[in-house]
Amino acid sequence: MTNDMKKISGNTFLYKKAYPAIFIIAAAGIVYIGLKDMNVSPFVIVGAMVLNAIVFFTLYRQFFLPMVDTVYDCGDSLLVKNSGQDVRVPLSDVVNLSFQHSVIVLDVRTDTPFGKKIKFAAPNQHIVSTEHPVIVELLPRIDQARGSK
């Protein structure tokens, strides 16, 4: 990593590793509580586990699974890294940049190995507004890059 690269993504450990572990512990807790209290029907236990699994995996697949590991700002482009794969996205290819629930979504013009929507965790900053500092800093540069193309 050179000096002109600045990491603009947050840590994905919580989203990709901790949440699945929390789900497994919650499912085990449901089974334990259900078996401990014999007044509960096994069908209720299984039903609660199935409902828990459906909700978790739907949310996980939609919000957390497509997140890339890291994103670096390289000046005129963004370097996106995920599972050992690197893709350089020129700022001029960025169509839109948005902030949704601690996730920054980057819409790109051309398809990448990560798709046309690249999602990454926002750096941990307690943001109350709808605009994250990363977006505020990148948007003018993206507009300038698109204008010079």
DSSP string, 56-104: HHHHIIIIITTB-SEEEE-SSEEEEEETTEEEEEEGGGEEEEEEETTEE
Q: Assess whether 49 and 105 both reside in one domain.
A: no
Q: Assess whether 20 and 46 both reside in one domain.
A: yes
What is the pLDDT confidence band of residue 1, given thresholds at 50, 70 and 90? Answer: very low
Residue 30 has pLDDT above 80, yes or no: no
- Domain membership of residue 8 (yes or no) is no
Do the bridges between strand 103-108 and strand 117-121 make them parallel or antiparallel, or are there none, so unpaired? antiparallel
Q: Assess whether 138 and 79 both reside in one domain.
A: yes
- Check: pTM over 0.75? Answer yes or no: no
Q: At what angle do helices 42-59 and 19-36 cross, to 10 degrees?
A: 170
Tell me, what CATH number does 102's domain have?
Answer: 2.30.29.30
- Domain membership of residue 1 (yes or no) is no
Mean pLDDT of the chain: 82
What is the pLDDT confidence band of residue 125, given thresholds at 50, 70 and 90? Answer: low
Q: Assess whether 140 and 98 both reside in one domain.
A: yes
Q: Assess whether 75 and 59 both reside in one domain.
A: no
Q: Between vectors from CA 14 to CA 97 and to CA 135, what angle results, nearest 5°?
A: 20
Structural domains of the chain, count: 2
User: In which domain, by residue range, is 79 found?
Assistant: 70-147
The token pair at 113 is 């190995």
- Which 8-state DSSP code applies to residue 42? H
Q: Assess whether 77 and 134 both reside in one domain.
A: yes
What is the pLDDT confidence band of residue 127, given thresholds at 50, 70 and 90? Answer: low
Mean pLDDT on 13-37: 79
Q: Assess whether 55 and 84 both reside in one domain.
A: no
- Three-class SS of residue 13? helix
- Domain membership of residue 6 (yes or no) is no
What is the pLDDT confidence band of residue 104, given thresholds at 50, 70 and 90? Answer: confident
Output 138 or 73, whichever has higher pLDDT.
Answer: 73
- Domain membership of residue 43 (yes or no) is yes
Q: Assess whether 59 and 76 both reside in one domain.
A: no
Chain mean position to CA 37:
38
List pLDDT tens digits, range 63-93: 777 889 899 999 899 999 998 999 999 999 9
Q: By percentage, how much of the chain surpasses pLDDT 90?
A: 26
Bridge partners (DSSP) of residue 99 are: 104
CB-side neighbour CA atoms (13 Å) of 112: 25
Q: Assess whether 41 and 92 both reside in one domain.
A: no
Q: Assess whether 136 and 79 both reside in one domain.
A: yes
Residue 128 has pLDDT above 70, yes or no: no
